[in-house]
Structure 1
Amino acid sequence: MLSQTTLQLLVASLALTPLAAARDVPAIVRNFYNTVKGQGQCPNKLASGFYAKDNGPGNFAYCQDPKTNVLYLQGTGGALADMDIDCDGRQGGPADDGRCDKSDDTQSITSFADTVQGYNKGIKDLDAKIHPYVVFGNAGEKSGFKTFDPRAHGVKPLSIMAVVCGDKLIYGVWGDENGVDGSKSMVGEASISLATACYGKSINGDNGHDQTDVLYIAFPGSEAVPGANGAAWSASNYDAFEKSIQAKGDQLIQRLGGSGSPTTTAGQPKPTCSWAGHCLDKCSNENDCDQDWVCKNGKCSA
């Protein structure tokens, strides 16, 4: 039997143990998610012809919401983006648990390594195992290759982004771009630390999230950039870094308040559901789903 002193030390140790920084999705973000998904496809495309999957349709686009000015990714039929895994940047750091070893396209540098190094915080680049970053934008000079530069629409490197994955809201930064890794211009990718916060440690360098239900939100403007002193760039774990940008992320999502009410493309209200992300959760019977939703193939659906 443990002594009282040992128990007290154990409780204290657990209290200091970092917890994965993820939070329930606030109503303001839920409404925006439902609005985007309910419209079927984005009405204001900045660039189109991108792919979420190698064997999928090339109908994904970078979109800008005219009411809030934020940028996001969307396909057609209500599809958003998936989440492939990026392990680029610093290698072998303190949070490296070997799961990135399964990746066959890891690069030793991210797009904005020079900016990170210029912050003079003791690191030369982002670490995918520590920094929750989003791969956003497409760069490359291959013939016929679709490109898109978010900077042309006011999004700044290393600015804060919001990611809605399932029933969680994660804050990250715009930390890398999609390059010419294959024959198609791909979208929907995030660092392994961000993906792990979303979907757990079953994620690895070669195993991401295939469903196109992830919403990536980029905020234009300098106020979205934490800068050298607005984030814990030298953090040794994901929790410490994500926590350091939470307050600014909470401020930025207030922009989403003008997104309106969720409707289908036909203008009819969506089926009753607490929010679309919740309705994608796993189920074993109808009681696990919200009203007017059914349990089909292990998932709640309309």
Structure 2
Amino acid sequence: MPPLALLGAAAVSAREVPATIRSFYNSLGAAGSCCNKLATGFYASDDGPDTFSYCGDHLSDYNVVYIQGVGGALADMDVDCDGAQRAGSDDGRCNSSTDTQGETAFRSTVAGYGRGIADLDPFVHPYVVFGNEGSKPGWKTFDPRAYGVEPLSVVAVVCGDQLLYAIWGDTNGDDGAKPMVGEASIALATACFGSSMSGNNGHDATDVLYLAFAGSEAVPGADGAAWDVGSFEEFEASIAALGDRLVQRVGGRAGDSDEPPREGGWAGRSLG
């Protein structure tokens, strides 16, 4: 795998990862896995292990929830094309998707903002698919709202050695064979890893950090984001000030776990 500094070479220009977030990211990898597994048994890929968890190790100090596997793995980034693909934004890269749905989980809230859009646009809005729903027997589920993470709240994403801001905009359902984690809108995937991202081509390496913030202060609401703009750059810029405030919660260490690092070291790659 190429160095993280090169992974985002084809992506849009973004802010550098702050030192505290960089330290936090690296220390999660060094720890191996989280201790406070809010829910576990999820998959990053159809042919991989069910060893991924929603983690609450830092709910008490930083008030954040994140995804982590074992051996230092974080999450991957599959591409989600759900939502309202408005005329002018769709460039055809979602045509290869076999599971696109016409709406996102929080469509009614978006429409209720009264900003002239009926739903999130996967080509414009950088949203993260976070949480798992389903009613199949034995299906693994997780509702971030049970731990204070609110719909359409800001999520910090570390990908390709850059920091981007997204929103929690959709959830994973039980329409697939396995309960999955690690998915984001094509707008966010493109910003992270370039225009090769498409409906059937995501980022497979488990080196992406999705950092969700609990509390109502993480929600931009109707007036705190430019919901009706026509580009990723405009929308991401509109939530950047809020994102910058939220990441200041993070102090840089991965906690005081008594569990030693996993044998064999971190499967991911540290941020230099």
* Same fold at TM > 0.5: yes
**What is the Cα deviation at residue 225 of structure 1?**
0.2
Larger CA Rg, structure 1 vs 2: 1
Which segments of 5 or more consecutive residues in structure 1 lack a partner in the other structure? 1-18, 279-302
C-alpha contact 1:140 1:147 (8 A) present in aligned 2: yes
Partner of 1:44: 36
Paired residue type of 1:112: F
Q: Which residue of 1 aligns with 2:46?
A: 54
Report whether the alignment pairs 1:277 with 2:271: yes
Q: Distance in 1 between matches of 2:14 and 2:87?
A: 22
1:83-118: CA deviations, max 9, x gaps? 000000002432211111111100000000000000
Residue-by-residue CA offset, 1:8-67 (whole Å, 9 max, x unaligned): xxxxxxxxxxx9352111101101101211110001110000000111000100001243
- Contact preservation (8 Å) 1:154, 1:220: yes
Matched residue, 1:235: 229
Shift of 1:205: 0.7
Q: Alignment partner of 1:233: what SS?
A: coil
More helix by share: 1
Match of 1:72 in 2: 66
Moved more, 21-30 or 128-137: 21-30
Residue 186 (structure 1) aligned to one of 180, 196, 200: 180
**Contact 1:134/1:191 (CA < 8 Å) preserved in 2?**
yes
Q: Which amino acid aligns with 1:55?
A: D
Corresponding position of 2:201: 207
1:28 partnered with 2:20: yes
CA contact (8 A) 2:41 2:50 kept: yes
Deviation at 1:144? 1.1
> What secondary structure does 2:115 align onto?
coil
Tell me if 1:124 matches 2:121.
Answer: no
3-state secondary structure, aligned to 1:99: coil
Structure 2 SS opposite 1:102: coil
Give the length in aligned residue pairs. 255
Q: Distance between the aligned counterparts of 1:276 and 1:194, measured in 2?
A: 21
CA distance in 2, matches of 1:258, 1:266: 18
Is 1:172–2:172 an aligned residue pair? no
Report the CA distance shift for 1:267/1:192 in structure 2 as closer, same or farther (over 3 A): closer
**What is the SS of the residue equivalent to 2:250?**
helix
Q: Quote the RMSD (CA, aligned, Å).
A: 2.1
The one of 110, 132, 135 aligned to 2:129: 135
**C-alpha distance in 2 between matches for 1:134 and 1:35:** 23
Is the CA contact (8 Å cut-off) linking 1:110 and 1:125 kept in structure 2? yes
Unaligned runs of 5+ in 2: 1-10
Provide the identity percentage. 60
Decide which moves more: 86-95 or 139-148.
Answer: 86-95
Deviating more after overlay: 57-66 vs 153-162: 57-66
Mapped contact 1:20–1:197 kept (Cα < 8 A): yes
Whole-angstrom CA distance in 2 between matches of 1:114 and 1:99? 26
**TM-score scaled to structure 2, two decimals?**
0.89
Q: TM-score, normalised by structure 1?
A: 0.80
Q: Distance in 2 between matches of 1:202 and 1:120?
A: 34
**C-alpha displacement at 1:123, in angstroms?**
0.1
Distance in 2 (CA, whole Å) between partners of 1:159 and 1:200 is: 24
Q: What is the distance in 1 between the residues matched to 2:185 and 2:15?
A: 18
**What amino acid is the match of 1:104?**
T
CA contact under 8 A between 1:21 and 1:239: conserved in structure 2?
no
